[in-house]
Structure 1
Amino acid sequence: MLVTTMRTTQNRKKSVLQSFYPNKLVSFACFMFFAGCSVLFWEQRSSLIFLSCILLSLTGLLLLFPNLTYVRITDEGIIHKNVITLFREEKISWNLIDNFYIESFQSGKKVKIKFKKKYPPNFAEGNLLIPGNPDKVLKILRDYLVEYSEKDLS
């Protein structure tokens, strides 16, 4: 039984092809900014804004831990874990993905998933942002999509 468990764990580790994590420096800066804002709003007795700042600072702090938020590319699909999924792993199969694209935000550019028309993604899947250099991440994801979506068809 122990040997089977070890083999399963080894197979799972081998199947992770690439991992993407949020930028720790940006996460720490967000934590510090919102923690500072919460102190200022505490002094002004603005309780709703104070609670919002505390929540945002805790979110920034949680992003510093790599096992809480990530996007991992495997031969079976994309595994992601973040605040929206309540820190539970969810998997998106390669056969549900049509393509990837770069979307611009005020805070920069991120890679998003374009799903096949027949599949309506849930909120976490539809709003999944893949961190990293957008051009490099886009190329990596498209290469894996071509390689592994063809295997699903055969």
Structure 2
Amino acid sequence: MSERLREQLGDFSSIVCLKAIITGMEDALGEKATAISLIAAGRTRGKKLAESLGLVGVTDFETVTQALSQALGPEGTRLLIIEKIVQDGTCIKVYVKETICSAGEPQGSTRQCTFTLGAVWGALEKILNKRLQGKHTESVLRGSAYDVFEFTELG
């Protein structure tokens, strides 16, 4: 991000405002329609990000992790922290923390990551040039050390 999007306020806004957008959408559209929309928006963001970072075709997950972490983590947009991406058989597992989706949620919350899942999903699809199915399988809100996103290739 070389050019600032707003002259005085800069490129970032509050998690409180984003969470209000999400809960407002859930009130208006329902949880399922909101989740579908936010995942789709995230996937679009992830695909564009992977392309802009020159990651298309990169197969080394350490390189991918570093590039995505820099763009989405503390030095980037602060969407989440990607700890690691690992291949586990036919499944790709992405271990993340401090997601925007989990921020401020109480322990035991059933909140799932939507936009953040979608952003990682879209990036991996673009990088690998494959259609993937993604799921949020473990949550920091329900006792896991990480939010874990799992991706498998669609036939």
The interval holding the TM-score normalised by the smaller chain is under 0.3
Higher helix proportion (structure 1 or 2): 1
Larger gyration radius, structure 1 or structure 2: 1
- Tell me which protein shows more strand as a share of its residues: 1
Q: Greater relative contact order (Cα 8 A, min sep 6): structure 1 or 2?
A: 2
